[in-house]
Amino acid sequence: MKGKAGGRKEKFAEYVRDNQQRLYRFAYSYMKNEEDAMDALQEAIVKALPALDKLREERYLSTWFYRILINECNRMLKLNQKYCAYNMEEEYTENWVDNYLQKTQVLSQVGELNEKYRSVVLLRYFEDRKITEIAHILQINENTVKTRLYKALKLLKDKMRED
């Protein structure tokens, strides 16, 4: 007979299976390297499994796991102290070839942002998350998300003008 923990593990496994490409792309946008992205995602899964009992409501599984994944990416980046070059073969949209140089430049610029700005930009524009979801994932106020997003976009715009 399955207990509550068993059911959560199954739901978590299903969530990871159903969203593996999206989760990998998100980790890749942080790590800028295929192997590091896979490592970060695997480590996040390993850390999430024993912590499933800390998840209060299953409807927050996605935001809860994104927070773990972000923390793991940041931990690995600090540990490695490296930012790898953007791999041109990675696909972020269906029309990526048409906007190849522009997207490469934007991703490169996003990667150079401070972590607090990078997180909101990646979650909003690359993961298509709503402001409320981002606030929940990052455990900050919605107005803080909006402020950081505004500031990040201004920084990106200024940086793009310079280049």
Q: How confident is the model at residue 80 (pLDDT cuts 50, 70, 90)?
A: confident
Taking the CA atoms of residue 64, residue 68, residue 70 and residue 76 in that order, the dihedral angle to the nearest 10 degrees is 180
Q: What pLDDT sits at residue 89?
A: 39
Tell the residue number behind the tokens 């793009």, with chain if given. 160
| Mean pLDDT over the full length of the chain | 80
91, pLDDT greater than 70: no
Q: What pLDDT sits at residue 39?
A: 92
- For 103-155, the pLDDT digits (tens) are 556 667 787 888 889 889 888 888 888 899 999 889 999 999 999 988 988 88
More confident residue, 133 or 7: 133
- Residue 138 amino acid letter: L
User: What whole-number percentage of the chain has pLDDT above 90?
Assistant: 31
pTM: 0.64
Of residues 26, 72, 18, 63, the one with CA closest to residue 45: 72
